[in-house]
Amino acid sequence: MAAGKGEGAGGDAGTGLSAGLETAWGLRERPSKGPRPGLSLDRIVDTGIRIAAAEGIDAVSMGRVAKELGVSTMSLYRYVSAKDDLYVLMQDAAAGAPPPRPASAAGWRAGLEWWAREQRAVFRRNLWLLRIPISSPPASPGSLEWMERGLEVLDGSGLDDGRKISVMMLVGGYVRNEVSLMADLDAAMRAQGVAPDEVMRRYARTVDALTSADPGRFPGVRRLLGAGVLDVPDADDAEFEFGLGRVLDGVAVLVEGRG
Protein backbone atom coordinates (compact mmCIF):
# COMPACT_ATOMS: atom_id res chain seq x y z
CA MET A 1 0.00 0.00 0.00
CA ALA A 2 1.37 3.34 1.02
CA ALA A 3 1.17 6.44 -1.11
CA GLY A 4 4.86 6.53 -0.34
CA LYS A 5 6.60 9.84 -0.09
CA GLY A 6 4.55 11.27 -2.87
CA GLU A 7 6.87 14.14 -3.52
CA GLY A 8 9.95 12.27 -4.51
CA ALA A 9 12.49 14.10 -6.65
CA GLY A 10 11.60 17.68 -5.89
CA GLY A 11 8.17 18.59 -7.20
CA ASP A 12 7.98 21.72 -9.33
CA ALA A 13 5.09 23.55 -7.79
CA GLY A 14 4.15 22.77 -4.20
CA THR A 15 1.62 20.22 -5.34
CA GLY A 16 2.91 17.33 -3.29
CA LEU A 17 2.23 15.04 -6.22
CA SER A 18 4.29 12.20 -7.61
CA ALA A 19 6.48 12.77 -10.64
CA GLY A 20 4.11 10.87 -12.89
CA LEU A 21 1.06 12.89 -11.89
CA GLU A 22 2.83 16.19 -12.36
CA THR A 23 3.63 15.06 -15.88
CA ALA A 24 -0.03 14.25 -16.38
CA TRP A 25 -0.89 17.80 -15.35
CA GLY A 26 1.67 19.11 -17.80
CA LEU A 27 3.76 20.65 -15.05
CA ARG A 28 6.99 19.04 -16.17
CA GLU A 29 8.89 19.69 -19.35
CA ARG A 30 11.57 17.33 -20.46
CA PRO A 31 14.97 18.56 -19.34
CA SER A 32 17.11 18.84 -22.46
CA LYS A 33 20.23 17.33 -21.05
CA GLY A 34 20.82 13.61 -21.14
CA PRO A 35 20.10 11.06 -23.83
CA ARG A 36 16.66 11.13 -25.34
CA PRO A 37 14.34 8.77 -23.46
CA GLY A 38 13.70 5.56 -25.33
CA LEU A 39 10.39 5.14 -23.63
CA SER A 40 7.50 7.38 -22.67
CA LEU A 41 5.04 7.54 -19.82
CA ASP A 42 2.22 7.08 -22.29
CA ARG A 43 3.60 3.88 -23.70
CA ILE A 44 4.11 2.48 -20.20
CA VAL A 45 0.66 3.45 -19.01
CA ASP A 46 -0.99 2.14 -22.18
CA THR A 47 0.78 -1.15 -21.82
CA GLY A 48 -0.35 -1.41 -18.22
CA ILE A 49 -3.92 -0.72 -19.25
CA ARG A 50 -3.77 -3.30 -22.01
CA ILE A 51 -2.55 -5.98 -19.63
CA ALA A 52 -5.13 -5.05 -17.01
CA ALA A 53 -7.92 -5.17 -19.55
CA ALA A 54 -6.88 -8.57 -20.80
CA GLU A 55 -5.83 -10.34 -17.63
CA GLY A 56 -6.92 -8.27 -14.67
CA ILE A 57 -5.06 -5.84 -12.50
CA ASP A 58 -3.09 -8.52 -10.71
CA ALA A 59 -1.31 -9.36 -13.94
CA VAL A 60 0.12 -5.85 -14.03
CA SER A 61 3.52 -6.07 -12.43
CA MET A 62 6.51 -3.93 -13.16
CA GLY A 63 8.32 -6.89 -14.62
CA ARG A 64 5.41 -7.81 -16.81
CA VAL A 65 4.96 -4.34 -18.22
CA ALA A 66 8.67 -4.08 -18.90
CA LYS A 67 8.74 -7.43 -20.66
CA GLU A 68 5.83 -6.37 -22.83
CA LEU A 69 7.77 -3.27 -23.83
CA GLY A 70 10.99 -5.13 -24.40
CA VAL A 71 12.92 -3.22 -21.78
CA SER A 72 14.31 -4.10 -18.39
CA THR A 73 12.18 -3.86 -15.29
CA MET A 74 14.19 -1.12 -13.72
CA SER A 75 13.93 1.15 -16.73
CA LEU A 76 10.36 1.86 -15.78
CA TYR A 77 11.41 3.53 -12.59
CA ARG A 78 12.89 6.37 -14.63
CA TYR A 79 9.34 7.28 -15.58
CA VAL A 80 7.29 6.16 -12.63
CA SER A 81 8.26 6.51 -9.01
CA ALA A 82 6.52 3.36 -7.82
CA LYS A 83 3.92 0.85 -8.83
CA ASP A 84 1.19 2.83 -7.09
CA ASP A 85 2.13 5.77 -9.24
CA LEU A 86 1.63 3.67 -12.35
CA TYR A 87 -1.76 2.62 -11.04
CA VAL A 88 -2.92 6.18 -10.54
CA LEU A 89 -1.76 7.09 -14.01
CA MET A 90 -3.55 4.11 -15.49
CA GLN A 91 -6.67 5.08 -13.63
CA ASP A 92 -6.61 8.59 -14.94
CA ALA A 93 -5.83 7.58 -18.50
CA ALA A 94 -8.60 5.00 -18.56
CA ALA A 95 -11.23 7.18 -16.93
CA GLY A 96 -10.25 10.18 -18.97
CA ALA A 97 -12.39 13.27 -19.04
CA PRO A 98 -16.18 13.15 -19.01
CA PRO A 99 -17.82 13.60 -22.41
CA PRO A 100 -19.83 16.76 -23.02
CA ARG A 101 -23.28 16.75 -21.52
CA PRO A 102 -26.00 16.25 -24.11
CA ALA A 103 -28.92 18.62 -24.30
CA SER A 104 -31.25 15.83 -23.26
CA ALA A 105 -29.66 15.78 -19.82
CA ALA A 106 -31.18 19.03 -18.64
CA GLY A 107 -32.28 19.57 -15.08
CA TRP A 108 -30.61 18.09 -12.03
CA ARG A 109 -32.25 14.68 -12.23
CA ALA A 110 -31.61 13.95 -15.87
CA GLY A 111 -28.17 15.44 -15.36
CA LEU A 112 -27.34 13.13 -12.50
CA GLU A 113 -28.66 10.18 -14.45
CA TRP A 114 -26.38 11.09 -17.31
CA TRP A 115 -23.45 11.59 -14.94
CA ALA A 116 -24.05 8.25 -13.24
CA ARG A 117 -24.54 6.26 -16.44
CA GLU A 118 -21.49 7.78 -18.02
CA GLN A 119 -19.36 6.90 -15.04
CA ARG A 120 -20.76 3.42 -15.05
CA ALA A 121 -19.87 3.05 -18.71
CA VAL A 122 -16.29 3.98 -17.95
CA PHE A 123 -16.08 1.44 -15.17
CA ARG A 124 -17.65 -1.24 -17.26
CA ARG A 125 -15.19 -0.66 -20.04
CA ASN A 126 -12.40 -1.06 -17.50
CA LEU A 127 -13.49 -3.39 -14.77
CA TRP A 128 -9.98 -3.55 -13.39
CA LEU A 129 -10.32 0.12 -12.35
CA LEU A 130 -12.25 -0.89 -9.29
CA ARG A 131 -9.65 -3.39 -8.22
CA ILE A 132 -7.10 -0.67 -7.77
CA PRO A 133 -6.77 0.25 -4.13
CA ILE A 134 -7.46 3.95 -3.67
CA SER A 135 -4.46 5.42 -1.96
CA SER A 136 -5.37 9.08 -2.00
CA PRO A 137 -8.24 11.45 -2.80
CA PRO A 138 -8.76 12.17 -6.50
CA ALA A 139 -6.08 14.54 -7.72
CA SER A 140 -5.79 13.74 -11.39
CA PRO A 141 -7.06 16.03 -14.16
CA GLY A 142 -9.76 13.59 -15.15
CA SER A 143 -11.09 13.11 -11.62
CA LEU A 144 -11.39 16.80 -11.07
CA GLU A 145 -13.21 17.23 -14.38
CA TRP A 146 -15.71 14.61 -13.32
CA MET A 147 -16.18 16.44 -10.05
CA GLU A 148 -16.61 19.71 -11.87
CA ARG A 149 -19.22 18.20 -14.12
CA GLY A 150 -21.13 16.83 -11.17
CA LEU A 151 -21.23 20.23 -9.51
CA GLU A 152 -22.41 21.77 -12.74
CA VAL A 153 -25.22 19.29 -13.08
CA LEU A 154 -26.46 20.12 -9.61
CA ASP A 155 -26.46 23.83 -10.19
CA GLY A 156 -30.16 23.94 -10.84
CA SER A 157 -31.03 21.97 -7.73
CA GLY A 158 -30.88 24.79 -5.23
CA LEU A 159 -28.67 22.71 -2.92
CA ASP A 160 -25.72 24.37 -1.23
CA ASP A 161 -22.18 23.26 -2.01
CA GLY A 162 -21.84 20.97 0.97
CA ARG A 163 -25.04 19.18 0.01
CA LYS A 164 -23.93 18.95 -3.58
CA ILE A 165 -20.77 17.15 -2.57
CA SER A 166 -22.79 14.83 -0.36
CA VAL A 167 -25.18 14.01 -3.17
CA MET A 168 -22.33 13.42 -5.58
CA MET A 169 -20.62 11.09 -3.17
CA LEU A 170 -23.89 9.27 -2.71
CA VAL A 171 -24.52 8.80 -6.41
CA GLY A 172 -20.88 8.20 -7.28
CA GLY A 173 -20.63 5.68 -4.49
CA TYR A 174 -23.70 3.91 -5.73
CA VAL A 175 -22.27 3.57 -9.22
CA ARG A 176 -18.95 2.45 -7.91
CA ASN A 177 -20.50 -0.16 -5.71
CA GLU A 178 -22.79 -1.53 -8.37
CA VAL A 179 -20.04 -2.02 -10.89
CA SER A 180 -17.87 -3.39 -8.13
CA LEU A 181 -20.17 -6.32 -7.64
CA MET A 182 -20.01 -6.92 -11.35
CA ALA A 183 -16.22 -6.78 -11.27
CA ASP A 184 -16.19 -9.31 -8.46
CA LEU A 185 -18.37 -11.62 -10.46
CA ASP A 186 -16.05 -11.14 -13.38
CA ALA A 187 -13.04 -12.00 -11.27
CA ALA A 188 -14.75 -15.11 -9.92
CA MET A 189 -15.59 -16.07 -13.47
CA ARG A 190 -12.01 -15.69 -14.57
CA ALA A 191 -10.72 -17.62 -11.60
CA GLN A 192 -13.04 -20.56 -12.00
CA GLY A 193 -13.19 -20.35 -15.75
CA VAL A 194 -16.96 -20.55 -16.03
CA ALA A 195 -19.77 -18.36 -17.31
CA PRO A 196 -21.45 -15.79 -15.01
CA ASP A 197 -24.75 -17.59 -14.70
CA GLU A 198 -22.92 -20.79 -13.92
CA VAL A 199 -21.21 -18.99 -11.04
CA MET A 200 -24.58 -17.96 -9.68
CA ARG A 201 -26.02 -21.43 -10.14
CA ARG A 202 -23.13 -22.93 -8.22
CA TYR A 203 -23.64 -20.35 -5.53
CA ALA A 204 -27.29 -21.22 -5.23
CA ARG A 205 -26.39 -24.88 -4.96
CA THR A 206 -23.84 -24.16 -2.24
CA VAL A 207 -26.25 -22.10 -0.20
CA ASP A 208 -28.84 -24.79 -0.64
CA ALA A 209 -26.51 -27.49 0.66
CA LEU A 210 -25.58 -25.37 3.65
CA THR A 211 -29.01 -24.25 4.72
CA SER A 212 -30.93 -27.44 4.04
CA ALA A 213 -29.51 -29.05 7.16
CA ASP A 214 -31.25 -26.55 9.40
CA PRO A 215 -34.00 -24.86 7.38
CA GLY A 216 -35.63 -23.21 10.36
CA ARG A 217 -32.59 -21.05 10.85
CA PHE A 218 -32.84 -19.51 7.39
CA PRO A 219 -36.49 -19.35 6.37
CA GLY A 220 -36.10 -16.28 4.18
CA VAL A 221 -33.02 -17.52 2.39
CA ARG A 222 -34.67 -20.85 1.69
CA ARG A 223 -37.68 -19.07 0.30
CA LEU A 224 -35.36 -17.23 -2.08
CA LEU A 225 -33.77 -20.48 -3.13
CA GLY A 226 -37.13 -22.00 -3.86
CA ALA A 227 -38.11 -19.04 -5.99
CA GLY A 228 -34.81 -19.22 -7.86
CA VAL A 229 -34.03 -15.60 -7.08
CA LEU A 230 -30.39 -16.37 -6.38
CA ASP A 231 -29.80 -18.11 -9.71
CA VAL A 232 -30.13 -15.06 -11.88
CA PRO A 233 -27.17 -12.71 -12.25
CA ASP A 234 -29.02 -9.41 -11.65
CA ALA A 235 -30.09 -8.81 -15.24
CA ASP A 236 -27.48 -6.09 -15.53
CA ASP A 237 -28.93 -2.77 -16.56
CA ALA A 238 -32.32 -3.29 -14.99
CA GLU A 239 -30.81 -3.77 -11.55
CA PHE A 240 -28.61 -0.71 -11.95
CA GLU A 241 -31.44 1.48 -13.11
CA PHE A 242 -33.62 0.29 -10.28
CA GLY A 243 -31.09 1.30 -7.65
CA LEU A 244 -30.29 4.57 -9.36
CA GLY A 245 -33.97 5.39 -9.52
CA ARG A 246 -34.33 4.78 -5.80
CA VAL A 247 -31.32 6.91 -4.94
CA LEU A 248 -32.53 9.76 -7.13
CA ASP A 249 -35.98 9.49 -5.63
CA GLY A 250 -34.31 10.07 -2.31
CA VAL A 251 -32.43 13.06 -3.63
CA ALA A 252 -35.66 14.38 -5.10
CA VAL A 253 -37.26 14.36 -1.67
CA LEU A 254 -34.39 16.52 -0.50
CA VAL A 255 -34.46 18.90 -3.45
CA GLU A 256 -38.18 19.34 -3.33
CA GLY A 257 -38.04 20.00 0.35
CA ARG A 258 -40.67 17.50 1.40
CA GLY A 259 -38.27 15.92 3.88
Partner DNA sequence: ACGGTAGTGCGTATGCCCTACGCAGTAACC
Partner DNA sequence: GGTTACTGCGTAGGGCATACGCACTACCGT
Segment contacting DNA by CB under 7 A, of 34-42, 45-53, 124-132, 162-170:
34-42
Interface with its own copies (CB under 8 A), residue from 46, 68, 118, 152: 152
Length of the chain: 259
Interface with its own copies (CB under 8 A), residue from 110, 132, 159, 165: 165
Contacts 24+ apart (CB under 8 A), 176-183: 176/119, 176/123, 176/130, 178/120, 178/239, 178/240, 178/243, 179/120, 179/123, 179/124, 179/127, 179/130, 180/130, 181/234, 182/124, 182/127, 182/234, 183/123, 183/127, 183/128, 183/130, 183/131
Q: Determine, following the binding rule CB under 8 A, whether residue 54 of this chain makes contact with its own copies.
A: no
Count other C-beta atoms under 10 Å from residue 73's C-beta. 13
**C-alpha distance from residue 129 to each of 119, 142, 183 (Å):** 12, 14, 9
Q: Determine, following the binding rule CB under 8 A, whether residue 170 of this chain makes contact with its own copies.
A: yes
Q: How far is the CB of 153 from its own copies (least distance, A)?
A: 10
Q: Determine, following the binding rule CB under 8 A, whether residue 63 of this chain makes contact with its own copies.
A: no
Measured between alpha carbons, how far is 215 from 106 in angstroms, rounded to an integer?
51
Q: Give the residue with the Cβ less far from its own copies, 8 or 243.
A: 243
Interface with DNA (CB under 7 A), residue from 13, 14, 33, 257: 33
Measured between alpha carbons, how far is 239 from 245 in angstroms, rounded to an integer?
10
Total site size for DNA, rule CB under 7 A: 26
Interface with its own copies (CB under 8 A), residue from 3, 106, 121, 194: 3
Segment contacting its own copies by CB under 8 A, of 42-50, 62-70, 106-114, 248-256:
248-256
Segment contacting its own copies by CB under 8 A, of 45-53, 66-74, 114-122, 128-136:
128-136
Q: Determine, following the binding rule CB under 8 A, whether residue 221 of this chain makes contact with its own copies.
A: yes
* Binding to DNA in span 71-110, by CB under 7 A: 71-75, 77-79, 82-84
Q: Give the residue with the Cβ less far from DNA, 23 or 119.
A: 23
Q: What angle do CA 158, 107, 148 make, to 5 degrees?
A: 70
Nearest to 176 by CA among 216, 123, 126: 123
Task: Give contact residues for DNA (rule: CB under 7 A).
Answer: 4, 30-39, 61-64, 71-75, 77-79, 82-84
